[in-house]
Structure 1
Amino acid sequence: MIITWIGGLLRRRTGRLIATAFGIALAVALVASLGSFLTASKSTMTGRAVHSVAVDWQVQVQPGADPAAVLSAVRAASGTKSAESVGFARSTGFQATVAGSTQSTGPGVVLGLPDTYRATFPREIRQLTGASSGVLIAQQTAANLHVAAGDTVTITLPGTGTGTGTGSAKVTVAGVVDLPQADSLFQKVGAPPQSQPAAPPDNVILLPSDLFNTLAAPVAAVDPAAVTTQIHTARNAPLPADPAAAYTSVTAAARNLEARTSGGAVVGDNLGAALDAARKDALYAQILFLFLGVPGAVLAALLTAAVAGAGADRRRREQALLRTRGLRPGQVTAMAGAEAAVVGVAGGLLGVGIAALAGQAAFGTASFGASTTSAALWFALALILGLVVAAAAVLVPALRDLRTGTVAAARKVVGRARSPWWMRFGVDFILLAASLLVFRASSGNQYALVLAPEGVASISVSYWAFLGPALLWIGAALLLWRLATLVLAHGRRPLARLARPLTGTLAATTAASMSRQRRPLARAIVLLALAVSFAASTATFNATYKQQAEVDAQLTNGADVTVTQSPGVSVGPDAGSALKVAGVRHVEPLQHRFAYVGADLQDLYGVQPATITSATSLQDAYFAGGTAKSLMNKLAARPDSLLVSQETVKDFQLALGDTVNLRLQDSRTKALTSVPFHYAGIVKEFPTAPKDSFFVANADYIAKSTGSNAVGAFLIDTGGTHQKSVATTLRGQVGTAATVTDVTQSRSKVGSSLTSVDLAGLTRIELGFAVVLAAASGGIVLALGLAERRRTFAITTVLGATRRQLRGLVLSEAAVMTAGGLAGGALIGWALSQMLVKVLTGVFDPPPAAIAVPWTYLALTVLAAVVAIAAAALNSARSSSRPAVEELREL
């Protein structure tokens, strides 16, 4: 009997079953895709964190411990791939005489490296010029001493005089190198983050181990604290894909090593520090999954329920007929369950196939870069979801009708019904008010969406912040349903006037028909609005993310390409003309000085107000007390104007217009001189500037006041393209005199947590599904709703309606649905976009001044929905023109 029933459904209700299965497939595919993205993102973050570290562990040998014993313990530790002993010695200074000119530096550091070090840790040292072995000198030190390969440098260590006596040596430079990870290399092992050096040493020389030991041994005998030993370690222990689990594993291994050396070593866990940051980024990937993925899955489930519910009246009549012919409730339930199983399994398998194809298109792999086990798990969960959606859309309504209805009641035509309970109790208004309250709390200045204390294994997400967007989405949908129902119920005259151009004398009938069908029509309007709002909010958030990731990278690097002069090198702004290589549109000089305000030493940046924005982006969010343009205009109109950090304004209790005397070094006398400025506004962020306190002023005024127009950096605009090639060209041109960085390097180093999450593939998946959902919500629901009313159309034809009038009736309903759905979707989408970006403001650095609206994509979404609705309406109109007798016979 069940097989016969399913066979009949497949023959007579093919379109409806396909539509229901398609809705389930969308939900399954979206969940499988986003779940695999989440797993792949976590795995990718772990891989990136591991790859970003040049030396996994820097094991500091403690005073009194035997370095050889610690080295043996490290090599014997589980998971150790290789380990090398590195010596560190403090230097009182370096000196070199080149071309008759003698240059000296301040204190520095001398490293002793074994011959195999560079092979073991290839990313710790980057070769610039000269030989790759022997005595190597850091780029900035070479610039300070004006030396190159072949020149001689004198190294002086504590407790010795300049010359060749004990603890001092003259060495011949073999090559010039860069230390890309100097911050971690010269860390204070075991010290908390707030006690770490503010910057790595400016002066560094690298010696072979034998030469280092000969030079440092006498010094260690006199001053043991001046010479230390570290065991640099590379690990190959397998790590979990989840950064949080990997962090726990690595830190536990580090503590185990410290315990086994009985206090003889302290581990500088660079790998653990990288994973510590990655685990927070992994939580943001999880947040993105919830914020951007769950609404799509819910929408697909609602679409399935709407498709299945479009034939609710017919299903009740069929159920009543089955019960009249003697079927027991259990048998009717079994038939409904079989139908749910068929569409659930078919939709689930189709959804998994769509997810695999989507993964291939968006990520280049069907498993999205995740492990096979993880992908299979998400596919299994998505299949279960598909069966649950099928049961909720098909089986649950059947059970409800069996429990609450009678045969006679099921055969009655539904008359005037009472308003839904939520409408009577004003649930929509309550939800919107609650959404506003949650939003105000979760978007406050002191609110933290993710709390991950540095060095602490436990991390937490304030998931209650999801209530704001969720309640807004639900409350706005219910409010739109209320408004649509009210308009359709009480707006017959306006609806008739609007329908008259399409239906002629049938306008009043058309308005009455829409009024009678207000519930299914309102449901279709709300579903279309939710689909459009999902597409709009998702696309807007992704566009804003992409915009701010680029802004963040530019803020960190300064511009597309930045050429930073080494300390001691003095070049004027005219030197920028030599940097205009192929691909460069504009070169902007940027002064960098240091100034005392009271006893506080801060960075001072001198800019050309009229041209600074030609090379880099200045957002209004960087400033307070005015826009970026207005404050730059102030600097130009009054050259002694000064932009001050918020912290300095608070510390010195400044008011706009106050005179601020900064002490700057005069290039002519080398003495500090007091220069008056006028406080004109607050600067919170600025390209290449530190995060804390600094000043921004007019470069010409600084040059005039100090007698020097020396430039600290050149900001280079390439039009957003070819940054790497331009940077490579400039590195070959400037040599060791300057450091060249490009924005592509900075993208992987910026502080925003979201920048570690690759949204490119996720965006393609989400936006693709959003377009399909919008089209399906409009077209399929309308088509099925109109198909259920073929009998009404046939009777209308018998009563004398023309084909033109019937076509106008169908098109009028489609137009009302389209207008209501698009207008409601636009408003809901706008509100959701504002709320999403605001709630997630903490993950943007800097916060966006305005959201980015992807107009092209939104136009595509609207076009897809309109085309789908128009196709459904025209097809229904064509079907309604069939001979009435033939139509009534089939029904």
Structure 2
Amino acid sequence: MPGADPGRALRRIRSFPGIGAALPVLRGTTTGLRARTGRTVQVTGPGVVLGIPTAYRSTFPGEIRPLLGTTTGTLLSQQTAANLHAGPGTVVRVGRPGLPPAEVSVDGIVDLPRADSLFQPVGAPSGGGPQAPPDNVLLVPLPTWHRLFDPVARIRPGATEVQIHADLRVPLPPDPGAAFADVLGRARQLEARLAGAATVGNDLAAQLDAARTDATYADLLFLLLAVPAAAVTAFLTLALGASASERRRREQALLRIRGASPAQLIAASAGEVAPIAIAGTGLGLVAARAIGDLAFGTPRFGATPGQATAWELLSSFVGLALAAAAVALPAWRDARRSTVRGTMAVVEPLRLPSRAPGYLGAVALLLGGLVFWASLRRGYQVVVAPEGVPTISVDLLSLFAPSLLWVGAVLLGAHLVDLALRRGRAVLARALRLATGPLSVVIAASMSRQHRALARAATIVSVAAAFAVSTSVFNATYMAQARVDAELTNGADVTISTPSNLGLPPTLAASVRRLPGVVAAVPMEHRMAYVGNDLQDLYGIDPRTIGAVAPMSDAFFTGGSAARVLSELLAQPDGVLVSEETVRDFQLRIGDRIRIRLQSARDHRYHAVPFRYVGTVREFPTAPRDSFLVADAAYVARRTGSGAAQALLIRTAAPPRSVASEVRPLLGPASGAKVTDVVSQLRTTLSGLTAIDLSGLSRVELSLAVALGTAATGLVLALGIAERRRTFAVLAALGARARALAALVWSEAALVIMAGLVLGTTTGGAVAFVVVRILTGVFDPPPQTLTWPTGYLVASLVATICTAAAVAAIGTRVVRRPATATLRGL
């Protein structure tokens, strides 16, 4: 702060608890840099001159990366060196506010990997977007800086600034929110200790703030993706627990005849289920640790030991409670409401089924549709970016849409299967006739009689299938759009870019095309243009070849397909594609003439160039997300006097990272050019707020979905056959042949699988569609269609069918056993 003693502030900062290192950094503003190379003189605009101590690079090793020359002395940033055509030994004239320029000799060229945080202004207003680092940066030793800018500080104090860069070395809580609060509190304590002598710029808190927002978004994804898995597992537990209810009722009726009280019945049921529940819970915990270790590299899924223990205890309690509810509650209910005679009846009285589940399912679907429609109508987005800063905007009401869809689809699906079995006996008989022949009528009648059990089994299979479909489709769509986002940001598989107006070497494209693994290489101009007083990015392309290296999706344009819009640009040499924001701000209409100011290569001044508005562009490779222009490269080159390309987009057949490593030697270290690949960009994309890496969660969920699908199918069919052994034995005793019994088993298995898969696929696709639309802000650009992982779905289908076939084959062997032995055992 003005008037404060920097030395005293430095001593107080170094003595603050948790500060590992603190060094002074002096900052001065230059009016411009000038260098003579050969017969030409290069001049830059305003920039920043930093005075850094000798130990700065070793204390903060990630801030400065040497490229050419020495690592000490006067250092030029890579971009500034490219602008000045400077290298080690070049004399640079430094413009000073209010004073004559001074000269320094360059000792080295460096890269500043963390320039965004290094030059982020201290005391910026909260909520503002991040400011771009300066284009021109010169680093000098502290004595040189004092020689250059001490006179400036005396006449213009606002042109200089003293900063103290400190490193915090304390253990932080693993929770991003708690760590953010901890770091924020320490910064406030430091400000209080400095007593107004300095303003604290908290870069660590800014990073933790983004991390805690990412954590909130991850929690939201957990609610939408992981909670259904827990619900499916709970539903499967309850359904399987109820599968042997008839046997338990008869056993409890015998105990009641012998004088057992309701408490004893409940205790007996609990004693039956307790060993199974405890063993299942233990196996589940062991499996969870193994899955976490395989998917995330840690058995605790990234949680602390205390958090992991708490989750294990909670899941164990829920698992035991579900098992008890599946067995003990029906026992208590039967003891209170049913009679021994009714329970022991071999043939149950015909009861009209309740229509309440069907009505509830229809109401839930209607409410879910209304919530979804309301969310779309008001334009809700889970991720918003006011002023370019992505933030989370969670609307809990919108989250009810997929939940209600789940509940409604399950209830209504079960009711429809039950209704079809009760009233569609004739249709079912005709459908079975081809496979079972004259037995179709008898089998259809038997299946109709067992409508409740078969409907329950089909519902369990449908829920497991719906979970597999919804999870896999969402994850596939998410990863596909993350790839599109990475390609948009990077431009192509591999991109070479330079900020210099002189562009890349003209022969670079031909050299790159000769490299192994390169399919195509297309140059692209990147200029800065004025639309009115608004400075925007302008991209000069060849409409005929841009699609060979960069994705051209119809979603990138409005008013027509990508091919149609690019053909319009090709047919109109002076045409220009304008971003939606610019069209809205300037109220443009197709065919309007626009005068855009571009810098001429002849006099380096901006001159008005006429263009004609021919289309609207939403997204474009390497372009920002707000305002930009796309024009014909040949027309831009002709009107500006320069055809220099600032980017080279490369499509590869080999891995992009290997091609990028082959391209870098073609460029000098001081060229100012940057080589990026889509794989590295995808990793960066998946670490941001609007895209979290779902690969680990996907592996867990997709594996669990296959396991649930096969387990649900196998257990439901196996328990159904075991529960009806008495029925099969009675039929055999009455003269039914083994072929007829086998046909009945296979027919029931086929019905359960077909009904479950049809309902599950429909429900899963609908849930995935709703979730993708609710999370529209996650996808940039939004997907045109859902991405269906065909390979995974086919593998899941094959696993489910094979499991059902295996269970049915074993079931046919079971029902072929002698009826007398089976009845005696029952």
Q: TM-score, normalised by structure 2?
A: 0.95
1:793 to 713, 725, 728: 728
CA distance in 1, matches of 2:83, 2:709: 63
Moved more, 274-283 or 567-576: 567-576
In structure 2, the residue matched to 1:158 is 97
CA distance in 2, matches of 1:808, 1:551: 51
- Alignment of 1:474 with 2:404, yes or no, is no
CA deviations 1:511-536 (Å, max 9, x no partner) are 01110101110111111111111001
3-state SS of paired residue (2:763): helix
1:430 to 363, 367, 370: 363
Q: Is the 8 A contact 1:276 1:454 kept in 2?
A: no
Which structure 2 residues correspond to residues 148-297 of structure 1 after superposition, within 5 A? 148-162=87-101, 168=102, 170-192=103-125, 198-297=131-230
CA distance in 2, matches of 1:680, 1:568: 27
CA distance in 2, matches of 1:525, 1:389: 21
3-state SS of paired residue (1:149): coil
Cα drift, residue 544 of structure 1: 1.3
2:617 to 658, 678, 683: 683
Q: Is the 8 A contact 1:563 1:740 kept in 2?
A: yes
3-state SS of paired residue (2:528): strand
The 1:80/1:128 distance shift into structure 2, 3 A limit, reads same
CA distance in 1, matches of 2:637, 2:308: 61
In structure 1, the residue matched to 2:33 is 94
CA distance in 2, matches of 1:504, 1:568: 81
Bigger relative contact order, structure 1 or 2 (CA pairs below 8 A, ≥6 apart):
1
What is the one-letter code of the residue matched to 2:596?
A: L
In structure 1, the residue matched to 2:308 is 375
The 1:731/1:203 distance shift into structure 2, 3 A limit, reads farther
In structure 2, the residue matched to 1:859 is 794
CA deviations 1:161-191 (Å, max 9, x no partner) are 23xxxxx2x2221110111222222222102
Q: Is the 8 A contact 1:190 1:267 kept in 2?
A: yes
In structure 1, the residue matched to 2:693 is 758
The 1:731/1:281 distance shift into structure 2, 3 A limit, reads farther
CA distance in 1, matches of 2:384, 2:663: 43
CA distance in 1, matches of 2:171, 2:449: 66
CA distance in 2, matches of 1:872, 1:216: 85
CA deviations 1:393-441 (Å, max 9, x no partner) are 11111111112112222223422223225247x1111111100111123
3-state SS of paired residue (1:265): coil
Q: Is the 8 A contact 1:555 1:688 kept in 2?
A: yes
3-state SS of paired residue (1:267): coil
CA distance in 2, matches of 1:633, 1:201: 38
Q: Is the 8 A contact 1:502 1:805 kept in 2?
A: no
CA distance in 2, matches of 1:330, 1:74: 70
Q: What are the ranges of 5 or more consecutive residues in structure 2 without an aligned counterpart?
A: none
In structure 1, the residue matched to 2:533 is 599
In structure 1, the residue matched to 2:742 is 807
- Alignment of 1:400 with 2:339, yes or no, is no
In structure 1, the residue matched to 2:272 is 339
CA distance in 2, matches of 1:525, 1:343: 25
In structure 2, the residue matched to 1:10 is none
CA deviations 1:70-111 (Å, max 9, x no partner) are 111211222211111000011122222222433222221110
In structure 2, the residue matched to 1:24 is none
1:135 to 53, 66, 74: 74
CA distance in 2, matches of 1:502, 1:108: 83
Cα drift, residue 817 of structure 1: 1.2
In structure 2, the residue matched to 1:357 is 290
Q: Is the 8 A contact 2:517 2:654 kept in 1?
A: no
- Alignment of 1:626 with 2:557, yes or no, is no
3-state SS of paired residue (1:268): coil
CA deviations 1:752-808 (Å, max 9, x no partner) are 855663322211111111011111222210111121111211222223222222111
What is the one-letter code of the residue matched to 2:323?
A: A
Q: Is the 8 A contact 1:118 1:125 kept in 2?
A: yes
- Alignment of 1:306 with 2:252, yes or no, is no
CA distance in 2, matches of 1:190, 1:732: 42
CA distance in 2, matches of 1:74, 1:789: 79
CA distance in 1, matches of 2:632, 2:127: 33
CA distance in 1, matches of 2:720, 2:8: 81
3-state SS of paired residue (2:623): coil
In structure 2, the residue matched to 1:584 is 518
In structure 2, the residue matched to 1:615 is 549
Q: Is the 8 A contact 1:724 1:744 kept in 2?
A: no
What is the one-letter code of the residue matched to 2:176?
A: P
3-state SS of paired residue (1:882): coil
What is the one-letter code of the residue matched to 1:533?
A: A
Moved more, 552-561 or 172-181: 552-561
Q: Is the 8 A contact 2:481 2:780 kept in 1?
A: yes
Moved more, 752-761 or 447-456: 447-456
The 1:639/1:216 distance shift into structure 2, 3 A limit, reads same
CA distance in 1, matches of 2:702, 2:503: 51
Which structure 2 residues correspond to residues 538-553 of structure 1 after superposition, within 5 A? 538-553=471-486
What is the one-letter code of the residue matched to 1:645?
A: S
Q: Is the 8 A contact 1:573 1:589 kept in 2?
A: no
Which structure 2 residues correspond to residues 33-52 of structure 1 after superposition, within 5 A? none
In structure 2, the residue matched to 1:315 is 248
Q: Is the 8 A contact 1:644 1:679 kept in 2?
A: yes
1:662 to 575, 587, 596: 596
1:410 to 319, 343, 349: 343
CA deviations 1:449-506 (Å, max 9, x no partner) are 36899999x9874333221111101101111112111211111112112222333332
- Alignment of 1:105 with 2:44, yes or no, is yes
- Alignment of 1:521 with 2:454, yes or no, is yes
The 1:874/1:196 distance shift into structure 2, 3 A limit, reads closer
What is the one-letter code of the residue matched to 1:599?
A: N
- Alignment of 1:637 with 2:574, yes or no, is no
What is the one-letter code of the residue matched to 1:594?
A: M
Moved more, 308-317 or 333-342: 333-342
The 1:719/1:274 distance shift into structure 2, 3 A limit, reads farther
3-state SS of paired residue (1:860): helix
What is the one-letter code of the residue matched to 1:422?
A: A
The 1:92/1:675 distance shift into structure 2, 3 A limit, reads closer
* CA RMSD in angstroms, aligned pairs only: 2.3
3-state SS of paired residue (1:233): strand
CA distance in 1, matches of 2:335, 2:168: 65
Q: Is the 8 A contact 2:80 2:135 kept in 1?
A: yes
In structure 1, the residue matched to 2:469 is 536
CA distance in 1, matches of 2:122, 2:619: 30
The 1:450/1:409 distance shift into structure 2, 3 A limit, reads farther
3-state SS of paired residue (2:589): coil
- Alignment of 1:714 with 2:648, yes or no, is yes
CA distance in 2, matches of 1:190, 1:740: 34
Cα drift, residue 747 of structure 1: 3.4
Q: Is the 8 A contact 2:129 2:387 kept in 1?
A: no
Q: TM-score, normalised by structure 1?
A: 0.88
What is the one-letter code of the residue matched to 1:77?
A: F
CA distance in 2, matches of 1:143, 1:503: 81
3-state SS of paired residue (2:536): strand
In the alignment of these two chains, the number of paired residues is: 822
Q: Is the 8 A contact 1:754 1:844 kept in 2?
A: no
3-state SS of paired residue (2:342): helix
CA distance in 1, matches of 2:216, 2:134: 35
Percent of residue pairs bearing the same amino acid type: 47
- Alignment of 1:888 with 2:811, yes or no, is no
Cα drift, residue 316 of structure 1: 0.6
The 1:388/1:291 distance shift into structure 2, 3 A limit, reads same
The 1:72/1:835 distance shift into structure 2, 3 A limit, reads same
Cα drift, residue 200 of structure 1: 1.8
CA distance in 2, matches of 1:156, 1:451: 42
